[in-house]
């Protein structure tokens, strides 16, 4: 295991020495790695590489096969029937009553309705801000503001990360919402 020097002595020392020292350092780290792995192997601390490799193999196989696959009951990305043999419209057409205003509404259009109905959402918030600037005491959405602040104080449910993400994503929301504020059925067909 001697990693002895194989350098050419005839080379000038000045150019040789740094490279030589670098080689020493590198060899020393190579031995560190080998020594660490030797210990892990002997103590049985090396993790289950078989399992990991088998999982890798299955995934690679799956990716190779799925590229051209049109199985799974889909044709050209469109479903034929679900597991129960049913088909579904692209916009859910159940009709039920809005629990806020009692109006009959179609399932697939419920969220945008409810947003307006409850006076929530981005537009509502903007409106609220505007109106509160105009008439601070007459804001109709005072309750939503208080819930908001209460919410943000309880984020210690999780570690800090999600909270950070939450803020970040809200920023996106504001940034990108302008681009998707068209009526829902005109949005990219991928959008549910």
Partner 1 sequence: MSGTLNRPPTTEAEDVHEDPDLTLQRIINAKLVESGEKELLKELLRERLIECGWSDEMKKHCLSFARKNGSNNVTLEDLINAITPKGRASVPDSVKEELLQRIRSFLA
Partner 2 sequence: MNMSSVRSPYTVPPPCNHLAGYKLKNGLSGYNSLQESLRIAPSGKLAIFRPDLADSSCSSCNGLRTSLYLCLICNSVSCLDHTLSHTRSCLGHEIVVDIDRAELYCGSCRDQVYDPDFDRAVMCKYIREVLPRGRKGFEGIGIVSDRSSKRRRLVVPVLDSDFSASNQLIRPGYQRAKSCHPLGLRGLNNLGNTCFMNSILQVLLHAPPLRNYFLNDKHNREACRSTSADHFCLLCNIDIIFSAVFSGEMSPFSPAQFLYSWWQHAANLASYEQQDAHEFFISLLDGIHQKEGKCKGLNKDGRDCQCIAHRVFSGLLRSDVTCMSCGFTSTTYDPCMDISLHLDTNNPLSADSPNKANKSNSSSFSNSTATLIGCLDLFTRPEKLGSDQKLHCQNCQERQDSVKQLSIRRLPLVLCLHIKRFEHSIVRKASRKIDWYLQFPFSLDMDPYLSSSIVRKRFGNRIFSFEGDESEISSEFEIFAVITHSGMLESGHYVTFVRLRNLWYKCDDSWVTEVDEKTVRASQCYMVFYVQKMLYCKGNEELSCIPISSQPDAFLPVVGCC
Q: Name which of 128, 166, 130, 167 is nearest 144 in CA terms.
A: 128
Q: What is the DSSP string of 33-102?
A: HHHHHHHHHHTT-S--HHHHHHHHHHHHHHHHHHTT---TTEETTEES--TTS----SS---EEE-TTT-
SS3 187: coil
SS3 106: strand
37 binds, among partner 1, partner 2, none (CB under 5 to 8 A by kind): partner 1
49 binds, among partner 1, partner 2, none (CB under 5 to 8 A by kind): partner 1
Residues 33-72 interacting with partner 1 (rule: CB under 8 A) = 33-38, 40-42, 44, 46, 49-50
Least CB distance to partner 2 at residue 137 (A): 20
CB nearer partner 1, residue 29 or residue 65? 29
CB nearer partner 1, residue 50 or residue 179? 50
Residues binding partner 2: number (CB under 8 A): 107
Chain positions contacting partner 1, by CB under 8 A: 1, 3, 9, 13, 17-23, 25-38, 40-42, 44, 46, 49-50
């Amino acid at each position: 295991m001697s990693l002895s020097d194989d350098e050419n002595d005839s080379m000038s020392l000045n150019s040789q020495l740094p490279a030589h020292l670098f080689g020493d350092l590198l060899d020393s780290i190579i031995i560190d790695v080998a020594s660490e792995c030797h210990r892990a192997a002997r103590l049985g601390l090396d993790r289950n590489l078989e399992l990991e490799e088998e999982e890798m193999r299955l995934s690679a196989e799956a990716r190779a096969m799925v590229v051209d696959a049109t199985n799974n009951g889909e044709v050209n990305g469109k479903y034929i029937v679900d597991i129960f043999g049913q088909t579904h419209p692209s916009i859910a057409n159940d009709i039920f009553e809005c629990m806020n205003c009692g109006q009959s509404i179609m399932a697939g259009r419920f969220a945008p309705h409810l947003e307006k109905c409850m006076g929530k959402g981005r537009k509502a918030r903007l409106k609220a801000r505007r109106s509160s600037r105009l008439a601070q005491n007459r804001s109709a959405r005072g309750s939503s503001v208080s819930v908001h602040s209460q919410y943000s104080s309880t984020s210690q449910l999780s570690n800090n990360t999600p909270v950070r993400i939450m803020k970040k994503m809200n920023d996106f929301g504001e940034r990108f919402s302008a681009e998707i504020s068209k009526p829902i059925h005109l949005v990219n067909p991928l959008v549910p």
